[in-house]
Amino acid sequence: MDHRPFFAVGDFLVNIAIGVLTGLLCWAIVDTGWNMWLAMFAMMALGMIAGLVMFFIVSIKLGAMEVMVPVMFSGMLSGMVVGMAAAMIPLGLADAALMGGASGLLGIVIIWIVNSWLRGPVKQI
């Protein structure tokens, strides 16, 4: 992953934005009458589709390979979390947006940690 400030800030903002967007979409679709497992899987797919759409918009500025996996993962994670929560309890608009944004932030943090772990220590030459 790129460590330039423009990319790092953009990456975090885009993932939070896709989390909020997915949370709002889940809030608009799911209510407490849904089965929570069905809501989780349906909103997971919706979050991945929303992430794919967002990817095409932001990849022009941030790069294609660096953005695709984190944005789709954050959308998927936000869809699962907010979809299940909306099926269990009545959520307000602000609650869904906050929960989605937090899930998007968690998604990008997980991606950055796993990426750093997989790269291992970097030796300076």
Residue 79 lies in a domain: yes
Domain that holds residue 55: 40-108
State the pLDDT confidence band at 77, using cuts at 50, 70 and 90.
very high
What's the pTM value of the predicted model, to 2 decimals?
0.87
Q: Total domain count for the chain?
A: 1
Return d(Cα 80, Cα 67) in angstroms, integer: 20
Residue 27 lies in a domain: no
Let me know: does 65 contact 2? Beta carbons within 8 Å: no
Q: List pLDDT tens digits, range 7-20.
A: 888 889 999 999 99
Residue 3 is classified by DSSP as -
Token pair listed for 20:
């909020």
Nearest alpha carbon to residue 15 among 90, 78, 85? 78
Residue 20 lies in a domain: no
| pLDDT at position 1 | 52
Residue 47 lies in a domain: yes
Residue 6 lies in a domain: no
